[in-house]
Structure 1
Amino acid sequence: MHKYPQDFPKATKNPHIMEKFGDRRTDNYFWLRDRENPQVIDYLKQENAYTEKVMAPVKELQEQIFQEMKSRIKEDDSSYPAKMGPYTYSTRFEKGAQYPLFVRTKIGSDKEEILLNEPELSKGHTYYDTTGPRISPNDMMMAYGEDTVGRRFYDIHFVDLKTGKKLPNVIEKATGNLVWADDNETVFFAQQNPETLRSEKIYRYNLKTQKKELVYHEKDETFSCYVLKSLSRKYIYITSQATLTSEVHYLPANKPQDAFKVFAPRQRELEYAVNDDGQQFYITTNKDAKNYRVMTAKPGHTAVADWKELIAHRQDTYISDVTVFKHYLVLDIRRNGLTEIEIRDIHGNNPFTIPFSDQSFMAGVGDNREFDTEWLRYEYESMRLPPSVYDFNLKSHEQILRKTREVPNFDPNKYRTERVFITARDGVKVPVSLLMKKDFRADATAPMLVYGYGSYGANMDPWFSSSFFSLVDRGFVFAKAHIRGGSEMGREWYDTGRTKKKMNTFYDFIDVTEGLLKQQYAKKGHVYAMGGSAGGLLMGAVMNLRPELYNGVVAQVPFVDVITTMLDESIPLTTGEYDEWGNPNEQEAYDYIRTYSPYDNVKDQKYPNVLVTTGLHDSQVQYWEPAKWVSKLRDHNKGDSVILLKTDMEAGHGGASGRFDALKDTSIEFAFILQMDDRK
């Protein structure tokens, strides 16, 4: 292990005392939260300079990795067109462009119409993101939102596609969630709270009158709301969602001036989502069904008591989504930790599951925009196979491969994937997806990167990412740990990894790492861990619990100051997360979070090498959490490991916006891991 320069910037200590339930916490770096303070900006810049200095020896390696990753991107790539009405829609990149063109072509014509020219629109902006085009029912008007800062506030613009002219109408600072009513002049859109960023209001806006009216205000701070239109296009829905509870309001799409009606009033811990075939409603719900079941209801009779079961609850099958076509139901399901696609007729009968051959894969319903069709579009990929788009005939079960993403300079046959189950300390078996070279032998000589998330019921499925081959080609095993807190193994998997069972998430990650070492997938002292956002919280907790297990940790935009953030209701997205982490205003929850909150549990010990990344404009995890944590880690670190902070001064939670700029972030992270492992 090389000695690295330890002349890191030292943030001023300015003790800030916080007390609750008799517990006194001192935060020396609380002052870093003042974004407007020039000293804060100066400090972040000093940290960037220090990171650059420490990583100077691998500057060339970083560039090499960037070029490798870039070479695996087809520069003039395009999506396979999706049919909607008389047009097909797709996106395509031109060579060298960071951003795509959104285009459409009239069926029967070969004349392409450019809807959104992002390379042109992004000029003069260091960050640029759009919602993509939102097309009116008569195909003649387009709405789109654009964000030039990275805080996910979109300004919505309108274009008359007949003339190609942009209208003067602009809706400012919306979420980008928008649907058209059938009259082609009314849109419904969501707006977030300017401070907490919670999506809380739905407005009706008329393009001709320019009248904007509030139609729904979600006042409960633990809920967020959004608006959507069904595939049948018969109804517009407002869904209000908390972690464990939902409520839906609905409106016929051809009556935009009517008032939304509540579908079924909210009940604590009752979750439901509504869809329709124009005749009746299909409800996916956890009512007496932990893994969800599908029920139906008739218009005018939508109360819970009126729901009738169509597809029963199954102990071994988690229903994550249902797509309703005119004559078929298509279910996204999970069984034994893997995603599958189940097809039934509209009456819920004749189930058929599309068969797949890989050990570890990811499959899901794709871009379907037509309601009355026999063709389902779905997508399939694995950690070694790039995403493929298939069209599947729901009647004959015929299957057509439409497109496999081209990955230049890449041969999937050089690699293999494995799926293993590691038994955690409480006897639960945790699935792990592994990617390695084809000739890999488990003889305890390889370095390994373990990746995890484990929060919000979100799944870290074994999807394809061309970046990781830069590590695998250098002998690394890449392990994706499907730990509790996600929903990979069903709803129970999520419930046993949140609030008072959150420690399971951290223990699972540690136990998976130890299990893989025991099975000789990696060499002790050459194991690395990576996670972002709530996965960064995972990194922080694991480092406090077992710092010696990892030689290096990459924590991307990490949520590490859990108690302080969860007690501050002015911080974005706090109140909506009490069912995820617990509400620290209640002593039992406070005491439990206190046991794992990474920032509060930093102690005198030898920490691994750490690279922490953040974005100054991050809307999900504020930049000061990573900044404070790095300073505190250094205060307590008893070894000579290197602890680095890299702040993107232009970007938000998702990092850089261009497709090549985003690779630069990854190349820095990989160069750091290889630097710590003394590898080129």
Structure 2
Amino acid sequence: MPDTPHQPPVADRRPSTREIHGRTRVDDYEWLRDKDAPEVVAYLEAENAWTEQRTAHLADLRQTIFEEIKGRTRETDLSVPTRNRGYWYYGRSFAGKEYGASCRVPVADPDDWTPPRPAEDCAPDQPALPGEQVLLDLDALAEGHDFFSLGGSAVSLDDRLLAYAVDVVGDERYTVRFTDLDSGEQLPDELTDVLGGVTWHPDNTSCFYSTVDETWRPDKVWRHRLGTPQSEDELVLHEPDGRFWTGIGRSRDARFLMIAVGSKTTTEYHYLDTADPDAAWQLFAPRREDLEYSLEPARIAGEEVFLVHHNATGPDFEIGVAPIAPTPPEQWRPLVPHDPEVRLEGVDAFAGHLVVHQRSRGLTQLRILELDADAGAGVGDDYLVEFDEPVYTVGAGSNPGFDQPTVRLGYTTMAVPPSVYDYDVRTRELTLLRRTPVLGGYDPADYEEHRLWATAEDGERVPISIVCRIGAREGVGGGADPVPTLLYGYGAYEASMDPYFSVGRLSLLDRGAAFAIAHVRGGGEMGRRWYDQGKLMHKQNSFSDFVACARHLVETGWADPATLVAEGGSAGGLLMGAVANQAPELFGGIVAQVPFVDNLTTMLDATLPLTVTEYDEWGNPEADPEVYDYIASYAPYDNVVAQDYPPILAETSLNDTRVLYVEPAKWVARLRAVTGNPDVLLRTEMSAGHGGVSGRYQAWHDRAFSLAWILDRMGLAGGGEPGRG
């Protein structure tokens, strides 16, 4: 590696060869996997120095964008209180503080479900509501650590004890501690290497948690009894199959504890009826390959039942009813039948109503089923909660109370900031409780949103959501000129990239750019078939869909390839690597965040985190030569060729356990070696995990870095033409 930052680092080529299925694969940069080796750390730091040198001309713009994000954000703020048993819970943030605090106040009137309105301008050392109790001062917990993440917190059912999980490294292995909320004292109990948080037993003296195996698969569920060492914890369930993970939760009515055991395509549930002191864990329905289901206890027409959300009758799921007993799928009675036009995503049960989460024609929906004892089936009116905007995202918020008559929901569009509503099922009134404030005179009416449709190679219509300032496309003479556009994509795990609002994005839009989301196959936007057609041996559809969306934007005059920038992270980073190889001429720049770009190497190593559990997503190339050849045909790292690539910014984190830093490091090394392009850049956070840096100000600086680079590629950084790197 050179000592001068005037030339990019050059990674040594140390070929390693592997023979599999009669194929020979040579990898020059696998040595970069040893993150503890001084030479690897030195290489990553040299790449950081090169990236900083290559983007030095953007330093002022980065600071300006940071100040814009900061200036649009109400730094001292608080969330809408959520009622859980006898308390209202809410979060607070404070100007100059990274993390904020979790608080609660007692419920004054048990019959009043209207959340109290805290004082929004109170000082950090003053209560926002009378009787405020600070449960967690997150800034105090983070003190002395370069990284901090709260994995989860849970209050016991008697409201006396708090369990909270923290990660100060970024590897998502949490330490759980306990606080007595009456005295404020910390209990001596401590649980290490926990995945996330804990679930309390209704006895308030014990809790459950999950741990991971050496491949970072949550394979065990444990019961911890307060006052005993972790070494004496009871192993409740161990899942030996490497394809399956475990997780535990408690029902809304607090009666049942439930353990989910699942792979990408198959699930089973175990449940414990805590109302029966002699009850043992029960298996509801044994796993069957490709049968997915989940359980939700409910009370319908006076009968205690399980609602079963399942795909036994069709790929877009059905909601069935079963008794509180082990029950095979053949005996699940339909309540909301399968509909190929509507993807049912889940159901929440309350004393007086059910809330069904679903999507149709690419849009999210909330559906209310009122429970009526006078109706023959116990279910009365069935309707959607309606909104006016043509493109939006709606979903249920925190609704922990089984007896609550209201539904807390969240709503946003690409122009409307996140909004919190309460829907009163009794009166059918929708009340806006809060819209996230955007300071500086922001007005959603200044922006226009559209739903476009691209045509994929196989004729499939692919939706695109797009937003820009009104008038951004107006050209000379009244025509519509192309606008610099950021096209975002993901396309994996049936995760839907629904329209959303971003304060940071305004720094693009207000400089004349557009932002678009390509809802490519592999996601779940258009139902289960959308996912099935974008995974395993159909993965190429995700890439060709994204390319089709880019071409549509160009051909319809929305965008110009010179100022069209692509962005995606994690599995979306795989998407970025693939389209960089397959259609580099369409983009003026590509941002790949924690990108899964060396996926063939990863999927060939069953000892790596997540590999075995993801065979159902990507395939098993070690076992099947056809799968090997298919992944090898699109894997970004393996398909780098000598062609003109646009400038690329790859961003990663040293402690990421989901997509190891070595993947983008190897990818950048090969790209630069093959093409000689100095504007293929690698930026590594040296103390962060998969989600990047912790702390909101650090995150704003991080996003400002990316946005400045994007604006530079769009010619909107102040110089008029796309600039370096």
Partner of 2:587: 550
- The residue matched to 2:710 in structure 1 has which SS? helix
- CA deviations over 1:274-297 (Å, ceiling 9, x no partner): 010261100000112211110111
Is the alpha carbon distance of 1:256 and 1:418 closer, same or farther for their aligned partners in structure 2, counting shifts above 3 Å? farther
Task: Please state if 1:270 is matched with 2:270.
Answer: no
Task: Please state if 1:300 is matched with 2:325.
Answer: yes
Task: Please state if 1:54 is matched with 2:54.
Answer: yes
| Aligned partner of 1:476 among 510, 513, 530 | 513
In structure 1, what is the Cα distance between the partners aligned to 2:287 and 2:234? 24
Q: CA deviation at 1:660?
A: 1.3
- The residue matched to 1:529 in structure 2 has which SS? strand
Instruction: Name the aligned partner's letter for residue 394 of structure 1.
Output: V
In structure 1, what is the Cα distance between the partners aligned to 2:6 and 2:634? 28
- The residue matched to 1:104 in structure 2 has which SS? strand
Is the alpha carbon distance of 1:359 and 1:292 closer, same or farther for their aligned partners in structure 2, counting shifts above 3 Å? same
Q: CA deviation at 1:258?
A: 5.0
In structure 2, what is the Cα distance between the partners aligned to 1:653 and 1:484? 23
Coordinate RMSD, CA, aligned: 1.5
In structure 1, what is the Cα distance between the partners aligned to 2:274 and 2:447? 49
| Aligned partner of 1:207 among 205, 220, 226 | 226
- CA deviations over 1:314-343 (Å, ceiling 9, x no partner): 111101111111121101110100001000
Partner of 1:420: 452
More displaced 10-residue stretch of structure 1: 93-102 or 502-511: 93-102
In structure 2, what is the Cα distance between the partners aligned to 1:257 and 1:63? 62
Partner of 2:168: 148
Task: Please state if 1:524 is matched with 2:569.
Answer: no
In structure 1, what is the Cα distance between the partners aligned to 2:275 and 2:504? 46
Task: Please state if 1:70 is matched with 2:90.
Answer: no
In structure 1, what is the Cα distance between the partners aligned to 2:393 and 2:667? 35
Partner of 1:183: 203
Is the alpha carbon distance of 1:397 and 1:80 closer, same or farther for their aligned partners in structure 2, counting shifts above 3 Å? same
Task: Please state if 1:594 is matched with 2:632.
Answer: yes
Identity of aligned residues (%): 40
- CA deviations over 1:508-544 (Å, ceiling 9, x no partner): 0000000011110112311100000000000000010
In structure 1, what is the Cα distance between the partners aligned to 2:86 and 2:388? 36
Q: How many residues align?
A: 675
In structure 2, what is the Cα distance between the partners aligned to 1:597 and 1:177? 35
In structure 2, what is the Cα distance between the partners aligned to 1:281 and 1:118? 38
In structure 2, what is the Cα distance between the partners aligned to 1:248 and 1:612? 40
- The residue matched to 1:544 in structure 2 has which SS? helix
Q: CA deviation at 1:425?
A: 1.6
Q: CA deviation at 1:471?
A: 0.8
Instruction: Name the aligned partner's letter for residue 632 of structure 2.
Output: R
8 Å CA contact 2:189, 2:227 repeated in 1? no
Q: CA deviation at 1:178?
A: 1.6
Partner of 1:240: 261
Is the alpha carbon distance of 1:378 and 1:330 closer, same or farther for their aligned partners in structure 2, counting shifts above 3 Å? same
8 Å CA contact 2:454, 2:464 repeated in 1? yes
8 Å CA contact 1:78, 1:90 repeated in 2? yes
Structure 2 portions without partners, runs of 5+: 109-128, 372-377, 475-479, 718-725
Partner of 2:399: 368
Partner of 1:216: 237
Is the alpha carbon distance of 1:37 and 1:269 closer, same or farther for their aligned partners in structure 2, counting shifts above 3 Å? same
- CA deviations over 1:136-160 (Å, ceiling 9, x no partner): 0100111000100011111000111
In structure 1, what is the Cα distance between the partners aligned to 2:277 and 2:692? 38
Partner of 2:597: 560
8 Å CA contact 1:155, 1:173 repeated in 2? yes
Partner of 2:723: none
Instruction: Name the aligned partner's letter for residue 259 of structure 2.
Output: I
Instruction: Name the aligned partner's letter for residue 102 of structure 2.
Output: F
Task: Please state if 1:197 is matched with 2:239.
Answer: no
8 Å CA contact 2:597, 2:635 repeated in 1? yes
8 Å CA contact 1:102, 1:132 repeated in 2? no
- The residue matched to 2:577 in structure 1 has which SS? helix
In structure 1, what is the Cα distance between the partners aligned to 2:135 and 2:278? 29
| Aligned partner of 2:534 among 482, 497, 501 | 497
8 Å CA contact 2:672, 2:678 repeated in 1? no
- CA deviations over 1:81-110 (Å, ceiling 9, x no partner): 000111000111012111020000012282
Task: Please state if 1:671 is matched with 2:690.
Answer: no
- CA deviations over 1:459-505 (Å, ceiling 9, x no partner): 10101111111111111111101110000000110000000110000
In structure 2, what is the Cα distance between the partners aligned to 1:201 and 1:547? 45
Instruction: Name the aligned partner's letter for residue 520 of structure 2.
Output: I
| Aligned partner of 2:667 among 611, 626, 629 | 629
8 Å CA contact 1:115, 1:133 repeated in 2? no
Q: CA deviation at 1:423?
A: 1.3
Partner of 1:398: 429
- CA deviations over 1:339-386 (Å, ceiling 9, x no partner): 010000244442110111112110001110110121111111001101
Task: Please state if 1:39 is matched with 2:39.
Answer: yes
Instruction: Name the aligned partner's letter for residue 64 of structure 1.
Output: T
Q: CA deviation at 1:301?
A: 4.1
- CA deviations over 1:226-246 (Å, ceiling 9, x no partner): 101111111011001111111
8 Å CA contact 2:81, 2:88 repeated in 1? yes
- The residue matched to 2:219 in structure 1 has which SS? strand
- The residue matched to 1:434 in structure 2 has which SS? strand
More displaced 10-residue stretch of structure 1: 67-76 or 447-456: 67-76
Q: CA deviation at 1:588?
A: 1.3
Is the alpha carbon distance of 1:148 and 1:257 closer, same or farther for their aligned partners in structure 2, counting shifts above 3 Å? farther
Partner of 2:114: none
Superposition pairs for residues 62-461 of structure 1, below 5 Å?
62-108=62-108, 110-193=130-213, 195-210=214-229, 211-254=232-275, 258-277=279-298, 279-346=304-371, 347-409=378-440, 410-441=442-473, 443-461=480-498
Instruction: Give the TM-score normalised by structure 1.
Output: 0.97
Q: CA deviation at 1:177?
A: 3.5
8 Å CA contact 1:608, 1:641 repeated in 2? no
In structure 2, what is the Cα distance between the partners aligned to 1:553 and 1:506? 14
- CA deviations over 1:612-671 (Å, ceiling 9, x no partner): 000000010000000000000011216x56110000000010001101111111111111
8 Å CA contact 1:183, 1:254 repeated in 2? no
8 Å CA contact 2:174, 2:193 repeated in 1? yes
Partner of 2:122: none
In structure 2, what is the Cα distance between the partners aligned to 1:616 and 1:397? 50
Superposition pairs for residues 583-662 of structure 1, below 5 Å?
583-585=620-622, 586-637=624-675, 640=677, 642-662=679-699
In structure 1, what is the Cα distance between the partners aligned to 2:419 and 2:561? 37
8 Å CA contact 1:559, 1:625 repeated in 2? yes
Partner of 1:16: 16
- The residue matched to 2:550 in structure 1 has which SS? helix
- CA deviations over 1:196-224 (Å, ceiling 9, x no partner): 11111100111034441100011111111
Partner of 2:549: 512
In structure 2, what is the Cα distance between the partners aligned to 1:131 and 1:83? 21
Instruction: Name the aligned partner's letter for residue 214 of structure 1.
Output: L
8 Å CA contact 1:181, 1:254 repeated in 2? no
Q: CA deviation at 1:6?
A: 6.8
In structure 2, what is the Cα distance between the partners aligned to 1:618 and 1:358? 38
In structure 2, what is the Cα distance between the partners aligned to 1:226 and 1:316? 31
8 Å CA contact 2:540, 2:634 repeated in 1? yes
Instruction: Name the aligned partner's letter for residue 316 of structure 1.
Output: E
More displaced 10-residue stretch of structure 1: 666-675 or 570-579: 666-675
More displaced 10-residue stretch of structure 1: 527-536 or 62-71: 62-71
8 Å CA contact 2:154, 2:197 repeated in 1? no
